[in-house]
Structure 1
Amino acid sequence: MDKLIIGIDYWLIIGFIGQALFSARFIVQWLKSEKEKKSVFPVAFWYFSIAGGVTLLAYAIHRKDPVFIVGQATGLFIYFRNLYFVIYERKSLNAE
């Protein structure tokens, strides 16, 4: 039941969407760095990382690919941790 009537594989579409989200983070980071004239990671970078990572992890689980699963799961931990630091820092700055 993974395919539409016309033969399109849903999971392949999900995989490409995940890859597009994951790749978009680099465009967001590049544009922000160009604007700032230095290397920066905007908060959107971490949101795109998480969205792409979750989508790609779902795809990897469906494919039953342990290498891909471990890679995406590890990455997600790092992305969530970095987003936590960004949010914590903003709350600290607002509390001052």
Structure 2
Amino acid sequence: MNMWVVYGIGFLAQLCFSARLINQWILSEKKNKVQTPTLFWQLSLLGAILFFVYGYLRKDLSIMIGQALIYYIYFRNLQLQGKWKPSKIIFKLAVILSPIVIAAYLVFFSDLDWGRLFTGDNIAIWLVILGTVGQIIYTGRFVYQWWYSEQHDKSSLPWGFWIMSLTGSAIIFTYACFRTDPVLLSAHFFGGIVYVRNLFLIQKSRKQAKA
């Protein structure tokens, strides 16, 4: 497939991820504390589908694993917010059917050599490991967020989530430099700014609460 098309899919996915952060950032600035809007999770689901496809086309195992693991957590947060049931039927069908269709394609129609994903095309094994570690941390932030939200019975983005976001993002940015991946480079450069700002807002809220 033409690389411009592949990059286009990747940038479209990152557009969803960036839009969710911008929306979350704006609402947080207005409230002067970290917010967790419903649109954040809706855009996350759409972005995850597109980014998984991008990872497949790029033969990037770390991206594919990360998006596959995180998909349910996005869905669960919509449930915790009570926004899943009132969602439009088209959105529900897209969320439910997309992973099924993708899985069916991978099993029955894909000619991808899964063994080569661990070495890739001219990708050193240490680089694959670096990217995977970054994705594990970056994906793990949502596992932590899920656990935290379940404990408090509401969807929220706590301090640890942003720390893991910043750490994982820094590793993936380094990985992207070696991979010369413009999609990952642009995404994690912008994301880092938002992560730092949210940490600042949380710290500010804590100081105000103590005052």
TM-score (norm 1): 0.77
- Distance in 2, matches of 1:76 and 1:42, equals 17
For 1:10, the equivalent position in structure 2 comes to: 5
Equivalences for residues 7-86 of structure 1 within 5 A: 9-86=4-81
Identical aligned pairs, as a percentage? Answer: 38
Range with bigger deviation, 37-46 or 80-89: 80-89
Aligned-partner SS, 2:81: helix
What is the deviation of 1:88? Answer: 6.0
How far 1:56 moved relative to its partner? 0.4
Partner Cα separation in structure 2 for residue 26 and residue 88 of structure 1 = 19
Q: Deviations over 1:48-72 (max 9, x none)?
A: 1111111101111222221111111
Distance in 2 of aligned mates of 1:46 and 1:9: 28
Larger radius of gyration: 2
The whole-number CA distance in structure 2 between the counterparts of 1:30 and 1:9 is: 30
- 60-69 vs 37-46, greater mean Cα deviation: 60-69
The Cα shift of 1:90 comes to: 8.5
CA distance in 1, matches of 2:82, 2:39: 12
Question: Deviation at 1:9?
Answer: 2.2
Alignment deviations for residues 65-93 of structure 1 (CA, whole Å, 9 cap, x no partner): 211111111221211111121126997xx
Cα deviations across residues 16-63 of structure 1 (Å, max 9, x unaligned)?
Answer: 111111111111101111122221111011111111111101111222
What count of residue pairs does the alignment treat as equivalent?
A: 86
Q: Calculate the aligned-residue CA RMSD, in Å.
A: 2.1
Cα–Cα, structure 1 residues 33 and 70, in superposed 2: closer, same or farther, change >3 Å?
Answer: same
Distance 1:90 1:38, change over 3 A: farther
- Which residue matches 2:145? none
Which runs of no fewer than 5 residues in structure 1 stay unpaired? Answer: 92-96
